[in-house]
Amino acid sequence: MKALKEKLPLILATAGLLVYLTLIFNNNVWMDEAFTALLVRGSFASMMERSLADTLPPLYNIWAWTFAKLFGFHTLTLKLSSVIPMIALLYYSAVRVAHLYNKNTASCFVLTLVCMPHLLSCAVEIRMYAFCLSFVTMAVISALYLLNLPSKKDLVLFGIFTLLAGYSHHYGLISLLFVWAALLIYFIRKKEGLKSFIICAFITAVLFIPYIIITLYQIKNASAYFSAPSGPSLASFVSSLRFPFVTNITPLSALLLLAVISVMIFGNRKKEGRALTGLYASVLCLSYLLMLISGRSFFSGRYLIPSFGALWLGFSILLFSDRLHLPGKLPEAACVLILLILVVSGIVDFAGAFRDEYSGDVKEMLAFFDENLEKDDGYIIYEDEYQIEWCLKYYEPDLKKYDPEKMENIRGKIWCFITPKYAWMLDEMPVKAYNKDYKGELSFDRYRFSVYLLERQDDRR
């Protein structure tokens, strides 16, 4: 039993690895994934040019492009490139958190990295959020070592992980700026080690100069992208604040939030644990303050994901690095109950992630296209947010989209793809001038659409 407890963090990390890997063996992508996949499909120069025209730092795109060039451009390859950093974080945490605190704290944290809402789906999607979360969390672990077992190795690691996080997503850097500020205050008060910390901070800042140049280049694109004229509302703030705890089952979400609040109240007195659980809220408050000042909305709940690792690491420290402040045998019962809530949350989250990844079999859609599409065919589509259009660019790059007003430019067959929300458009001009041959409904990932073959009523095509 003792030997099992000693190896429990690594056992849970291995179990987490298997859980993550079960979610990547599919060819389903949603719009944001298709956008990233298309961005890294071409040459390195093309990828960098398109990355610089985007609103986010380029590190994840460089990583995914390199991975695809080495192992082939495929959905599985790209999803594997996304999940590898999370797998690395699982084992990194199992070893380093256990050494710094204890096996129970490390085991709890590894469990949260598998069970917490949003982490499974974000870790396997072809996007940079979990990629950034991994580096932010590794930087936080190095910061904890600087507080408890300081060494130059961890100071260097802290700087490196900060660079990797910042070049992955702007909110990775924003999250860690709070940690840098806390460490600066700590070293000023302690005095010992301040010089080394300042040197590390200076070198890190210098290495961020390319990041600043890239960001300034992207500002014009960002200002056009985030064009919402109105400031944020209280309702949106509350929604973002509870975002880390949201599951598909509202009572379970409430229990999860209650568990975290209870641990913050009755947990041990580790100051770093309390600070880390509040990091995501600090990032959120800063974002909303800037939006209130600017009068514009530019925040998404997904931007909190880089700070999720810090939240659950702080939670694990408060729960297991020392005794809970409860009388009698209540601490043991509370720990069992909280772990049960975590496991149930993980099961619910896995079920949702599995459904998103494997529902809507793309094979049927691709088989239909292989059988029916010809070289000069084109399509029109009615949908919101251009989601299916972006995905079709990934699945069928040779199939051209046309404006409904310019269907006469299509030399081959004219296909009409229509989402349920826009079914009424079939009775509108210019589509009503065509005979509509219904071919059925196709689906992939979370999308579905009806397929029509359009023919001119005068049959002159």
End residue of a domain, out of 326, 358, 390 = 358
Residue-wise pLDDT tens digits, 372-415 = 999 899 999 999 889 999 999 999 999 999 998 888 888 899 99
The chain-wide mean pLDDT, for the chain, equals: 92
In this structure, are 196 and 272 located in the same domain? yes
Q: Region 272-278: what's the mean pLDDT?
A: 95
Q: 269: which 2 tokens?
A: 């007195």
In this structure, are 305 and 417 located in the same domain? no
In this structure, are 393 and 353 located in the same domain? no
In this structure, are 296 and 375 located in the same domain? no
Q: What is the pLDDT of residue 223?
A: 54
Q: 103: which 2 tokens?
A: 């096996």
Between these two residues, 427 and 458, which has the higher pLDDT value?
427
What is the rounded CA–CA span in Å between residue 251 and residue 272? Answer: 29
Largest CA distance in the chain: 87
Between these two residues, 286 and 1, which has the higher pLDDT value?
286
Q: 159: which 2 tokens?
A: 């700087």
Between these two residues, 219 and 423, which has the higher pLDDT value?
423
In total, how many domains does the chain have? 2
> Radius of gyration over alpha carbons of the chain, in Å?
25
End residue of a domain, out of 358, 391, 416 = 358
In this structure, are 88 and 187 located in the same domain? yes
Look at the block and give the residue holding tokens 């499909």: 41
In this structure, are 140 and 76 located in the same domain? yes
Residue 198 maps to a domain? yes
Residue 282 maps to a domain? yes
Q: What is the pLDDT of residue 460?
A: 47
**Is the confidence at residue 222, as pLDDT, over 80?**
no
In this structure, are 77 and 148 located in the same domain? yes
**Is the confidence at residue 333, as pLDDT, over 50?**
yes
In this structure, are 258 and 399 located in the same domain? no
CB 19 within 8 A of CB 103: no
Residue-wise pLDDT tens digits, 337-374 = 999 999 999 999 999 999 989 987 899 999 999 999 99
Q: What is the pLDDT of residue 409?
A: 87
End residue of a domain, out of 300, 334, 358 = 358
The pairing of strands 400-401 and 414-418 is unpaired
**Is the confidence at residue 446, as pLDDT, over 80?**
yes
pLDDT band at 47 (very low <50, low <70, confident <90, very high): very high
In this structure, are 339 and 394 located in the same domain? no
What is the rounded CA–CA span in Å between residue 447 and residue 442? Answer: 9
Residue 156 maps to a domain? yes
**Is the confidence at residue 329, as pLDDT, over 90?**
no
pLDDT band at 335 (very low <50, low <70, confident <90, very high): very high
**Is the confidence at residue 292, as pLDDT, over 90?**
no
In this structure, are 247 and 173 located in the same domain? yes
Q: What is the pLDDT of residue 461?
A: 44
Between these two residues, 393 and 296, which has the higher pLDDT value?
393
Residue-wise pLDDT tens digits, 234-267 = 888 999 999 999 998 999 999 999 999 999 999 9
What is the rounded CA–CA span in Å between residue 409 and residue 420? Answer: 26
Q: What is the pLDDT of residue 425?
A: 85
Q: What is the pLDDT of residue 231?
A: 65
pLDDT band at 171 (very low <50, low <70, confident <90, very high): very high
Look at the block and give the residue holding tokens 């998103």: 356
Q: Region 110-122: what's the mean pLDDT?
A: 94
Who contacts 1 (Cβ-Cβ below 8 Å, separation ≥6)? none
What is the rounded CA–CA span in Å between residue 223 and residue 201? Answer: 29
In this structure, are 120 and 137 located in the same domain? yes
Residue-wise pLDDT tens digits, 173-186 = 999 999 999 999 99
Of all residues in the chain, the percent with pLDDT exceeding 90 is 78
What is the rounded CA–CA span in Å between residue 455 and residue 457? Answer: 6
pLDDT band at 293 (very low <50, low <70, confident <90, very high): confident
**Is the confidence at residue 226, as pLDDT, over 60?**
no
Q: What is the pLDDT of residue 391?
A: 95
**3-state per-residue secondary structure call for 152-184:** HHHHHHHHHHHHHHHCCCHHHHHHHHHHHHHHH
**Is the confidence at residue 139, as pLDDT, over 80?**
yes
Q: Which domain holds residue 53?
A: 2-358
The total of other beta-carbon atoms located within 10 Å of residue 217's CB is: 11
Residue 461 maps to a domain? no
In this structure, are 347 and 402 located in the same domain? no
**Is the peptide bond between 430 and the residue preceding it cis, with omega within 30 degrees of 0?**
yes
CB 217 within 8 A of CB 52: yes
pLDDT band at 430 (very low <50, low <70, confident <90, very high): confident
**Is the confidence at residue 287, as pLDDT, over 90?**
yes
Residue 221 maps to a domain? yes
Q: What is the pLDDT of residue 73?
A: 95
What is the spatial order of strands in the sheet that 400-401 belongs to? Answer: 400-401, 378-382, 414-418, 447-456, 434-444
